[in-house]
Amino acid sequence: MVTSREVPLGGPRAMTVRRTLPQRARSLVGAWCFADHYGPDDVVRTGGMDVPPHPHTGLQTVSWLFTGEIEHRDSSGVHAMVRPGELNLMTGGDGVAHSEVSTRGTTTLHGVQLWVALPDQARRLPRGFAHHVPAPIRLGGATVRVLLGTLAGHTSPVAAHTPLIGAELVLDPRGELTLDVAPDFEHGVLVDVGPVLLDGTELARAELGYLPPGAGRLMLANPGDRPARVMLLGGAPFTEPVLMWWNFVGRTHEEIAGFREEWEAGSERFGAVEGYRGQVQRLPAPPMPTVRLKPRPAPPGHGDPSAWG
C-alpha cells in the first residue's frame, strides 16, 4: 500500500491536502499520475480553497467532490462549478491555465483532485473541458459511479486517451463487493472513509492499495457499521517516460524548463484566466531545481503480478 503525505496546496491561502501519487513507492497507476485527497475541512477555520491561475501541460485534471462547491475558471473561457457527484475534466495538453476557488456558500470542503498523464499522441491536444454526471449504480453491497472508462458493463461518455477506469464506490455498512476487472490493468484503491478491505488487506483512510496486472477480480469489504467510500483508479500500465515538475507533465528537463519560461513570460501557450478575483492574478513558478530533472522510472514490481506496491 501507499500512505499519504500532507502537503500545502499552492497559493496565498494554502490548504493542506493528503497526496498519495506521486511518491517514491509508486509514481503511477495506469496513466493516473497524481492524487490529492482533502477534507472534510471546515472552511471557516481553514479558509477553504483559493488557488490563483496556474498552468498545466501534458495532462487531464479530474475534479471530484464529496461535499462543498468549487468555482473553476480556465483559459478556454470555461466558467463552471464543481459539485458533489459531478465530474469536471479539463484537458491541458499543449497548455492551459485555470483557477480553483471554494464558493462562499461552502461550509465543508471534501474531495479529490486527480491527474491523468496524456500519451505522446494526445499530449499536444488543445485545451478542452468536459462535464458529466454519472448515474449511481447498485452493485452488490455498494453504490458505484463511473467517472471514466468501463466498469461492470457501464461506460462513461467522457473520452480518455489511454485505457482507464475511474470510479467512486460507496460500500454499505458491512457491505461487500466483488468486481470483474480488466486483467491487463493495474488498480489502485484510495480510501476516503474507511477502513476497507481490499482482497483481505485492510486499508485506512487516505491510504492507497495497489493491485498489479494479472487478476481479473477485485474484492472490497467494509468491516464497519457506517458507509465506507473509496476511489477506484486503474488502467493499462503507462510505459512512456513521465517527467512531472510543479504543474507540468513532460518528457525531458529541457521541455519542462521551456514550459516554465513560457509561463513566466505570459506566453499564449497558456492563455489567460478571466474573472478570477483573488489578490494574486497568476501563481509564479518556483525556481528550477539545481539538478537535472529525470523521468520517473517504473517502480519495482511494475507489471509483476506477484508484487504489491
Chain segment 22-81, per-residue pLDDT in tens: 988 899 999 999 999 999 999 988 888 999 999 999 999 999 999 999 999 999 999 999
Please report which confidence band the pLDDT of residue 10 belongs to, taking 50, 70 and 90 as the band edges: low
The side-by-side arrangement of strands in the sheet containing 32-42 is: 5-8, 16-21, 32-42, 108-117, 59-67, 87-92, 128-132
* SS3 per-residue string spanning the chain: CECCEEEECCCCCCCEEEEEECCCCCCCECCEEEEEEEEEEEHHHHCCCEEEEEEEECEEEEEEEEECCEEEEECCCCEEEECECCEEEEEECCCEEEEEEECCCCCEEEEEEEEEECCCCCCCCCCEEEEECCCCEEECCEEEEEEEEEECCEECCCCCCCCEEEEEEEECCCCEEEEECCCCCEEEEEEEECCEEECCEEECCCCEEEECCCCCEEEEECCCCCCEEEEEEEECCCCCCEEEECCEEECCHHHHHHHHHHHHCCCCCCCCCCCCCCCCCCCCCCCCCCCCCCCECCCCCCCCCCCCC
What cell does 246 get? 510543479
- Alpha carbon of residue 194 to chain centroid: 19
- Residue 14 predicted with pLDDT over 90: no
Which residues, including other chains, have CB under 8 Å from residue 268's CB and lie 6 or more apart?
A: none
Please report which confidence band the pLDDT of residue 303 belongs to, taking 50, 70 and 90 as the band edges: very low
Find the length of the chain: 309
The domain spans of the chain are 5-235
pLDDT tens profile 167-200: 999 999 999 999 999 999 999 999 999 999 999 9
pLDDT tens profile 242-299: 999 999 999 999 999 999 999 999 999 999 999 999 889 999 999 999 999 999 765 5
pLDDT tens profile 199-254: 999 999 999 999 999 989 999 999 999 999 999 999 999 999 999 999 999 999 99
Least confident range from 58-62, 134-138, 220-224, 303-307: namely 303-307
Asked whether 164 and 32 are in contact (CB, 8 A), the reply is: yes
Residue predicted with more confidence, 7 or 206: 206
Asked whether 184 and 149 are in contact (CB, 8 A), the reply is: no
Output the CA torsion 190→192→196→202 (10° steps).
60
Residue indicated by cell numbers 485527497: 37
For domain 5-235, which CATH number applies: 3.40.50.720, 3.40.50.360, 3.50.50.60, 2.60.120.10? 2.60.120.10
CA distance 297 to 284: 28
